Amino acid sequence: MPDSDRAPVDFRTEPSKYKHWRLSVDGPVATLAMDVREDGGLRPGYELKLNSYDLGVDVELYDAVQRLRFERPEVGAVIVTSAKERIFCAGANIRMLGQSSHGWKVNFCKFTNETRNAIEEATAESRQVYLCAVNGPCAGGGYELALATDYIIMADDGNTSVALPEVPLLAVLPGTGGLTRLVDKRRVRRDRADFFCTLEEGIKGRRALEWGLVDELVPRSKLDETVRRRAAEAASRSDRPAEARGITLPPLARTLEGDRIAYPHVTCEIDRERRVAEVTVTGPAGAPPAGLQGIHELGCAFWPLALARELDDLILHLRTNEEEIGIWVFRTAGSADLVEAYDRLLAEHQGEWLVREIRLFLKRTFKRLDVASRSTFALIEPGSCFAGTLLELALAADRSYMLAGTRPGDGRPPAMARLTELNFGAYPMPNGLARLASRFLADPGRVEKLKTLIGKDLDAAAADEAGLVTFTPDDIDWEDEIRLAIEERAAFSPDALTGMEASLRFGGPETIETKIFGRLSAWQNWIFQRPNAVGPKGALQVYGTGRRSDFDRRRV
């Protein structure tokens, strides 16, 4: 069945609905135990044996990671393990991959990558350290999940091993950052990594420890005791407040009516003929609360957190369920003064645990735009509130258009853009740079000069001079210029656009994230379409049939 004919994927879930994970909390230590239901696949046609996973398993994992950060401030360490005897995780389900469309496979890999990046960010930024207890064979995506944690403890029992067998077994690459984390994060020697990645059966015991594939090796009988001790030690070093009360993440309010997707602060209108999603983000309706107590009392109703949740869900929905909608156009509506007031509150209390989590959530959400295989435009018009946090939408866009002056009959003042403190490092891109720093790679000093404009309203001419927008048409040219830009974009090859955008968005330094989303994603995109992997005799298609793959032996 084509992906377009299937029910849309819903990324909203909660622990009471989990099929595949057991989440438990014991004081400062939480445990996420993988217990995948074989018959619980997101789509029919495969069984999730040996803790193998599909997108549905990772949707639950993403939700659990989010909840631990917001709902459990007392948790300083999280143990990832398996609830099944003698198996940790066999990785992504091969039959699922074999029957999936190319786009589904790519989006699946992207989401799993983002979830593992969030685990690493939780360790580094939220001080909620993730550890992994490998209690059985750990292969492919299972080992990539382990690699995303900060400390890997493996049972020394003659049976438990770690492996990245994708190249010899399936003629594809580890799709969730395994290659990059092996050499960039764990610093495994290249020659050893080369051997490891061509070995179907993986490596176990003393060699796995000596090569740096795991951090600690213990007898199976002492695995639980050891990992809990290590987790308690990690939690004792965390700055997360043991006595604080968490913020409950209630079900997200969303309506789907025809081609309209609506949340309280974000709406999206899909124009299928033009292949465009028109997204409007509404600024806060009132002044921010007075101080931290007000933020905690509002909880998920606090505008920046509500915005992050809604925009995050919309991006995931469009990316997964609306493959042919290739252009996302962003507008804002509301008061720049109110947006700036909320930004001041987020800046003033940035060291407090909940405010830190809200800022990190916004950062992760904007990063989803950076790695989206969609063209993004921002339109700054009268009535907009592209200030501070919301200005990031324009800075993340491939192009931004700002109306110079006003429209006849429109009594509103001209469009303005406004910088706040949060534009200067609160929301870094995958390359580790603020979007302003990425924008002005050729003139780093310009970013420092822009700080003198914080809090000032910039009309089209001033925003253009500051380098914050791409074009500033007046009312006479506005409609035609926007229409032609969108029509032209829609006429180009989506494949070529995806490659172009991904190449242009990440100038400057490389990080593990940019290597995964740029270099690895580009290769995997190509390999997922090659006959050696997905052809009638490709490795993904004949896996488990007893037949041998028939490879095109040319190196290209």
For residues 337 and 283, give the distance between their C-alpha atoms in angstroms, rounded to a whole number. Answer: 10
Q: Which of 426, 395, 431 is nearest to 507 (CA)?
A: 431
Q: How far is it, in rounded angstroms, from Cα 232 to Cα 151?
A: 13
The CATH T-level fold of domain 255-504 is: 2-enoyl-CoA Hydratase; Chain A, domain 1 (3.90.226)
Average pLDDT over residues 135-154: 97
Instruction: Give tens-digit pLDDT for 352-402.
Output: 999 999 999 999 999 999 999 999 999 999 999 999 999 999 999 999 999
The enclosing H or E element of 196 equals helix 190-196
d(CA 538, CA 105): 16
Burial 491-529 (b: 16+ CB within 10 A, else e): eeebeebbeebbeebbeeeebbbbbbbbebbeebbebbe
User: What is the reported pLDDT for 521?
Assistant: 82
Distances in Å between the Cα of 407 and the Cα atoms of 379, 453, 473, 474 are 15, 26, 12, 9
- What are the domain boundaries of the chain? 17-224, 255-504
Tens-place pLDDT, residues 404-449 = 999 999 999 999 999 999 999 999 999 999 999 999 999 999 999 9
CA distance 144 to 331: 37
- pLDDT the model gives residue 1: 43
Q: How many whole angstroms separate alpha carbon 390 and alpha carbon 311? A: 11
CA distance 464 to 487: 24
Give residue 5's pLDDT. 56
pLDDT(503) > 80: yes
Beta strands 255-257 and 216-218, pairing class? unpaired
Q: 443-470, pLDDT tens digit by residue? A: 999 999 999 999 999 999 999 999 999 9
Tokens describing residue 481: 């210029």
Type of residue numbered 429? M
Domains 17-224 and 255-504 share a fold: yes
Residue 2: what pLDDT? Answer: 45
Look up the CATH number of domain 17-224.
Answer: 3.90.226.10
**Torsions phi, psi for 148 (to 5 deg):** -75, -15
How far is Cα of residue 538 from the mean position of the Cα atoms in its chain? 30
Reported as a pLDDT band with limits 50, 70 and 90, residue 3 is: low
In this structure, the strands spanning 327-333 and 386-387 are unpaired
45: helix, strand or coil:
coil
276-282, strands of its sheet edge to edge: 255-257, 260-262, 266-271, 276-282, 327-333, 375-380, 399-402
User: Are 193 and 182 spatial neighbours (Cβ–Cβ below 8 Å)?
Assistant: yes
pLDDT above 90: percentage of residues in the chain: 90
Which tokens hold the place of 172?
Answer: 């594809």
Counting residues of the chain whose pLDDT is more than 70, the rounded percentage is 99
For 226, left (φ over 0), alpha (ψ -120 to 50), or beta?
alpha
CA atoms within 13 A on the CB side of 310: 24
pLDDT tens for residues 159-169? 999 999 999 99
For 257-284, how does the pLDDT look when each residue is reduced to its tens digit (9 = 90+)? 999 999 999 999 999 999 999 999 999 9
> Which helix (H) or strand (E) segment is 31 a member of?
strand 29-34
Element at 527 (helix H, strand E): helix 521-527
Nearest-angstrom CA–CA distance, 375 and 398:
7
Residue with tokens 């033009």: 274
Q: Measured in whole angstroms, how far is the alpha carbon of residue 410 from the centre of its chain?
A: 39
Tell me the pTM. 0.95
**What is the per-residue DSSP string for 393-406?**
HHHHSSEEEE-BS-
pLDDT in tens, 353-367: 999 999 999 999 999
Give CA–CA dist 494/476, Å, rounded: 30
Pairing of strands 260-262, 255-257: antiparallel
Residue 399 dihedral angles phi and psi, to the nearest 5°: -145, 150
* DSSP conformation letters of 205-274: HHHHHHTTS-SEEE-GGGHHHHHHHHHHHHHHT--S-TT------PPPP-EEETTEEE-SSEEEEEETTT
Answer yes or no: are the C-beta atoms of 263 and 254 closer than 8 Å.
yes
How many Cα atoms are found within 13 Å in the side-chain-facing hemisphere of 268?
27
For 82-94, give the DSSP string: ESSTT--B--B-H
| Structure tokens belonging to residue 471 | 């074009």
Query: 8-22, 97-111, 443-457, 473-487: which has the minimum mean pLDDT?
Result: 97-111
- CA distances in angstroms from 112 to 52, 178, 304, 490, listed in the order given: 13, 12, 25, 28
Bridge-based pairing of strands 138-139 and 161-163 is parallel
Q: Tell me the sheet residues that pair with 21.
A: 34
- Where on the phi/psi map is residue 551: left (φ > 0), alpha (ψ -120 to 50), or beta? beta
